[in-house]
């Protein structure tokens, strides 16, 4: 299903250099928000204002295209075109991804036996990546728990789609072809985690970013996977939110396979801290601000990452804060020899 072309029609243009202080510290680090979302009810100007107050250098925009229907309350649909428009109007501040939170993907059969809708989506994604305008794909929602927040946000779908499905294999081929990351939400229950391993093994050239610290896996499990699979990375989206509503807690559903990275008020657990120091090149941070009204708390979410940085060595803080993301954004920006 995926294209056989060798890469973008023209190289992606690398983002403008990130503006850095002379001596980056946990307090002034202009970090990259690698995992967050965009919807039409939040403007580019609002996002820039939130980022400036929180001293966030860049923000990845993964469109959330679910509408407010079927009992869901998502604050309205976003789009790939919206993310691209924001990036063009504010060069260097936004990194657009092709969004994968789409209503047409809330269909188990479509993942296993791709139909015309699935084939069309792969072709559309291929075309967008080939344009050189987009830097990744995500967030793919594979094993996801529904929730209702205190703000009135309602996510209704209890998703359970195999990571090694035929459709996911097609997207993994696009990741390898265009040298872009694919961000995957998959809670690390035994069967979904095993499927993620098969995806990694079958697609060694794909760049897999397993969201929320590899689906909230244990430090021991993540360490083993990082040693075995050089194409595996992890984002820590919302993992420092240790309150009642955040992936840094046993939310929205506690399972025996769920592991945290910190205890309130944000102190890293020793095994997780050791993991980050051992593999500083493989992690990214993110606020996972998924809904327009949730941006009211953006500065608080960002501040929690400064608590995270101050507990790490300076080199590790810089790498996880921005250097890893910057390196990934520049993959595929060099001219290709065909």
pLDDT at 43: 96
Contact 157, 100 (CB under 8 A): no
- Tally the residues of the chain: 338
Q: Is the pLDDT of residue 6 over 80?
A: no
The percent of residues in the chain predicted with pLDDT above 90, rounded, is: 89
User: Hey, is 198 helix, strand or coil?
Assistant: helix
Q: Across the chain, what does the average pLDDT equal?
A: 94
Residue 335 pLDDT class (50, 70, 90 cuts): low
User: What does the longest C-alpha to C-alpha distance in the chain come to?
Assistant: 53
Residue 4 pLDDT class (50, 70, 90 cuts): very low
Task: Say how far apart CA 260 and CA 118 lie, in whole Å.
Answer: 35
pLDDT at 11: 79
The domain at 36-330 falls in which architecture?
Alpha-Beta Barrel (3.20)
Residues 55-112: tens digit of each pLDDT: 999 999 999 999 888 999 998 899 999 999 999 999 999 999 999 999 999 999 999 9
pLDDT at 3: 46
Q: Is the pLDDT of residue 5 over 90?
A: no
Contact 138, 183 (CB under 8 A): yes
- Rounded to 10 deg, the angle between the 44-54 and 298-309 helix axes is 40
Give 327's contacts (C-beta < 8 A, 6+ positions apart).
none
* Per-residue buried b or exposed e for 209-231, using 16+ beta carbons within 10 Å of the residue's own CB: bbbbbbbbbbbeebbebbeebeb
Task: Say how far apart CA 124 and CA 115 lie, in whole Å.
Answer: 14
Q: Is the pLDDT of residue 7 over 70?
A: no
Q: What is the mean pLDDT of residues 38-62?
A: 96
pLDDT at 334: 63
Rounded to 5°, the CA angle 31-56-11 comes to 70
User: Quick one: which H or E segment has residue 175?
Assistant: helix 166-178
Q: Is the pLDDT of residue 1 over 80?
A: no
Q: Where are the domains of the chain?
A: 36-330
Contact 39, 14 (CB under 8 A): no
92: its two tokens:
């260097």
Contact 64, 39 (CB under 8 A): yes
Q: What is the pTM of this model?
A: 0.96
Say which range, 1-5, 123-127, 128-132, 200-204, has the weakest mean pLDDT.
1-5
Residues 276-288: tens digit of each pLDDT: 999 999 999 999 9
Q: Could you count the other beta carbons within 10 Å of the beta carbon of residue 163?
A: 26
275: its two tokens:
């993991």
Task: Say how far apart CA 239 and CA 307 lie, in whole Å.
Answer: 12
DSSP string, 46-59: HHHHHHHHHT--EE
Residue 30 pLDDT class (50, 70, 90 cuts): very high
* Per-residue buried b or exposed e for 100-113, using 16+ beta carbons within 10 Å of the residue's own CB: bbbeebbeeebbee
């Amino acid at each position: 299903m995926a294209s056989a072309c060798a890469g973008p029609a023209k190289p992606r243009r690398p983002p403008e250099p990130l503006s850095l202080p002379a001596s980056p510290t946990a307090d002034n680090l202009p970090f990259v928000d690698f995992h967050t979302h965009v919807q039409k009810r939040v403007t580019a100007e609002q996002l820039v204002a939130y980022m400036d107050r929180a001293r966030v250098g860049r923000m990845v925009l993964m469109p959330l295209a679910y509408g407010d229907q079927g009992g869901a309350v998502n604050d309205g649909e976003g789009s790939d075109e919206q993310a691209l428009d924001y990036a063009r109007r504010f060069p260097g501040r936004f990194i657009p991804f092709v969004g994968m939170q789409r209503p047409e993907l809330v269909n188990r059969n479509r993942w296993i036996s791709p139909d015309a809708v699935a084939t069309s989506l792969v072709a559309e994604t291929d075309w967008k990546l080939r344009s050189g305008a987009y830097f990744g794909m995500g967030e793919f929602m594979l094993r996801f728990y529904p929730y209702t927040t205190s703000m009135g946000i309602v996510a209704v779908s209890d998703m359970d789609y195999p990571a090694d499905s035929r459709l996911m294999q097609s997207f993994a081929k696009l990741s390898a072809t265009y040298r872009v990351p694919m961000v995957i939400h998959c809670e690390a229950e035994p069967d979904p985690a095993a499927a993620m391993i098969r995806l990694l093994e079958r697609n060694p050239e794909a760049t897999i970013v397993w969201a929320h610290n590899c689906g909230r896996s244990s430090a021991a499990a993540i360490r083993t996977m990082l040693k075995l699979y050089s194409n595996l990375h992890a984002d820590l989206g919302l993992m420092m939110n240790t309150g009642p509503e955040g992936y840094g807690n046993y939310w929205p559903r506690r399972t025996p396979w769920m592991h945290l990275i910190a205890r309130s008020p944000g102190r890293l657990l020793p095994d997780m801290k050791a993991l980050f120091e051992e593999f500083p090149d493989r992690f990214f941070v993110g606020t996972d601000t998924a809904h327009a009204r949730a941006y009211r708390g953006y500065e608080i979410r960002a501040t929690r990452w400064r608590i995270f940085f101050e507990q790490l060595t300076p080199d590790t803080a810089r790498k996880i804060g921005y250097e890893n993301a910057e390196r990934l954004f520049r993959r595929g920006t060099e001219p290709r020899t065909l």
